[in-house]
């Protein structure tokens, strides 16, 4: 007989099941687009909460490095599904904004909230900066992969006429860099870096129950993502929200609810290594894996190819956000004031895209 999940995980599963059922009902009855969009977004967030509870249980057994890799792989499933379904409908602008928004959402909003909560509750939090510095350097390389095709296009260089080919080349290079990064982390044994912040296993959630919850939440996310994207365009048009703001903020926050829940939970428990592993591993995977995969797959799944020629303001916002995060984590500690600064920068970036 399979072990029963802990009460909190059972409650999260129940809430997620009810919201998924509500989203399915809205889809079946052709409810107004705004209502379907809202309930689907809530269902995605609830599924993310389930994933967060399950990942917290698993993290007790694999350490901070393994937690970051596992969380980023499972936690980015909603972004991948939403991106594929959006490309099928030709919503390239939304996908571009959502990819940048997912990275900025983790680096600025999620990390900022975790820093504020952890700093206010436990004071200055210290951590081993070696791995965060590595992630920051790789994210800067990913920024360069966007910057080069974007500048080539907007400066009308000879490469401007070959934006698709240049994007495909960059995508292959990014995938190679991601593979090298994974090999490097595995060889140096990131799991051994469990510091004093690594709490001993509590045993609250059996491993089999946690893995089962991950599988169930992933299956639910596949269906809800399709409904979410289907209602996205008519709902935002009815509400007067621009596609750029929709992707940068709404889609990114809805699909990044995993990181919100998990990172803040780790910060509350005074586990800064885990909080940073959660917030940095996810955008790294979005930049080095998810983005190039969508670029290479866009010619097959959608009517319009996705290239790395992004709007300049998106690339500039990504560059600024990445640089600020690198500076914040470089000294191996964070305070709640730095968290406030990160959230404030996110608010300013989001406001710049309200009109499109």
Q: What is the pLDDT of residue 75?
A: 62
Place of tokens 């791995």: 131
CB atoms within 10 A of CB 134: 17
| 3 state SS of 288 | helix
| pLDDT per position as a tens digit, 10-49 | 888 888 889 999 999 988 888 888 888 889 888 887 887 7
Question: Does residue 210 register a pLDDT over 50?
Answer: yes
Averaged pLDDT score across all residues of the chain: 83
Q: Kindly report, residue by residue over 337-350, the tens digit of the pLDDT.
A: 999 999 999 999 99
Pairing of strands 125-126, 333-334: antiparallel
Q: 6 pLDDT band (50/70/90 cuts)?
A: low
Domains and CATH numbers, the chain: 7-352 (1.20.1420.30)
3-state helix, strand, coil in the chain (%, to 5): 80, 0, 15
CA-based R_g, the chain, Å: 20
Percentage above 70 pLDDT, the chain: 85
pLDDT for residue 267 is more than 90: no
Q: pLDDT class for 115, splitting at 50, 70, 90?
A: very high
Looking at the chain, the number of H-run helices and the number of E-run strands are 15, 2
pLDDT at 4 over 60: no
Q: What is the mean pLDDT of residues 321-329?
A: 93
User: Do residues 308 and 170 touch, judged by C-beta distance below 8 A?
Assistant: yes
pLDDT of residue 195: 41
pTM to 2 decimal places: 0.81
- Among the listed residues 283, 277, 336, the one whose alpha carbon sits nearest the alpha carbon of residue 125: 336
Q: Is the pLDDT of residue 127 over 80?
A: yes
Residue 174 pLDDT > 80: yes
Reported as a pLDDT band with limits 50, 70 and 90, residue 50 is confident
Q: What pLDDT does 60 receive? A: 60
Q: For position 309, what pLDDT does the model report?
A: 94
Segment 59-89, tens digit of pLDDT: 665 555 555 556 556 667 777 888 888 899 8
Q: Give the DSSP per-residue string, 97-162.
A: HHHHHHHHIIIIIIHHHHHHHHHHHHSSEE---HHHHHHHHHHHHHHHHHHHHHHHHHTT-GGGGG
Per-residue confidence (pLDDT) for residue 197, from 0 to 100: 41
Give which of 47, 27, 71, 15 is closest to 216, Cα–Cα: 47
Residue 53 confidence class, pLDDT cut points 50, 70, 90:
confident
Q: What is the DSSP string of 232-293?
A: HHHHHHHHT--HHHIIIIIIHHHHTHHHHHHHHHHHHTT-HHHHHHHHHHHHHHIIIIIHHH
Q: Higher model confidence: residue 106 or residue 259? A: 106
Q: Out of 145-149, 198-202, 263-267, pick the least confident.
A: 198-202
| Sequence-separated (6 or more) residues with CB below 8 Å from residue 93 | 243, 244, 247
User: What is the per-residue burial (b if ≥16 Cβ within 10 Å, else e) of 53-69?
Assistant: bbbbbbbbebbbbbbbb
Q: What is the pLDDT of residue 204?
A: 63
Question: Which range has the top average pLDDT, 103-107, 200-204, 222-226, 256-260?
Answer: 103-107
Cα→Cα distances 312→70, 239, 351, 355, Å: 32, 26, 16, 15
Task: Name the pLDDT band for 128 (thresholds 50, 70, 90).
Answer: confident
């Amino acid at each position: 007989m399979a072990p029963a999940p802990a009460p909190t995980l059972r409650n999260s599963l129940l809430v997620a099941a009810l919201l998924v059922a509500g989203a399915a009902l809205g889809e079946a009855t052709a409810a107004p687009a705004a209502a379907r969009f809202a309930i689907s977004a809530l269902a995605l967030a609830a599924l993310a909460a389930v994933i967060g509870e399950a990942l917290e249980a698993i993290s007790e057994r694999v350490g901070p490095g393994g937690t970051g890799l596992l969380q980023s792989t499972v936690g980015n499933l909603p972004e991948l599904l939403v991106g594929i379904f959006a490309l099928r409908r030709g919503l390239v602008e939304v996908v571009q904004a959502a990819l940048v928004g997912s990275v900025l959402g983790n680096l600025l909003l999620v990390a900022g909230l975790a820093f504020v909560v952890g700093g206010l509750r436990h004071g200055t939090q210290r951590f081993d900066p070696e791995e965060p510095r590595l992630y920051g350097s790789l994210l800067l390389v990913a920024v360069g992969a966007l910057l080069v095709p974007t500048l080539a296009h907007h400066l009308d260089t000879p490469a401007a006429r070959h934006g698709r080919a240049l994007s495909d080349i960059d995508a292959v290079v990014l995938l190679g860099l991601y593979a090298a990064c994974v090999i490097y982390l595995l060889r140096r044994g990131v799991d051994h870096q469990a510091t004093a912040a690594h709490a001993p296993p509590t045993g609250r959630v059996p491993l089999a129950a946690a893995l089962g919850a991950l599988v169930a939440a992933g299956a639910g996310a596949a269906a809800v993502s399709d409904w979410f994207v289907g209602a996205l365009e008519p709902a935002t048009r009815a509400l007067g929200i621009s596609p750029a703001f929709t992707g940068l903020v709404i889609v990114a926050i809805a699909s990044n609810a995993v990181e919100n829940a998990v990172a803040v939970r780790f910060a509350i428990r005074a586990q800064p290594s885990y909080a940073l592993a959660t917030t940095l591993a996810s955008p790294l995977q979005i930049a080095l894996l998810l983005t190039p995969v969508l670029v290479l797959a866009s010619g097959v799944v959608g009517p319009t190819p996705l290239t790395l020629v992004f709007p300049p303001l998106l690339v500039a916002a990504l560059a600024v956000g990445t640089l600020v995060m690198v500076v914040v984590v470089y000294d191996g500690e964070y305070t709640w004031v730095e968290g406030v600064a990160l959230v404030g920068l996110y608010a300013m970036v989001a406001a710049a895209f309200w009109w499109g």
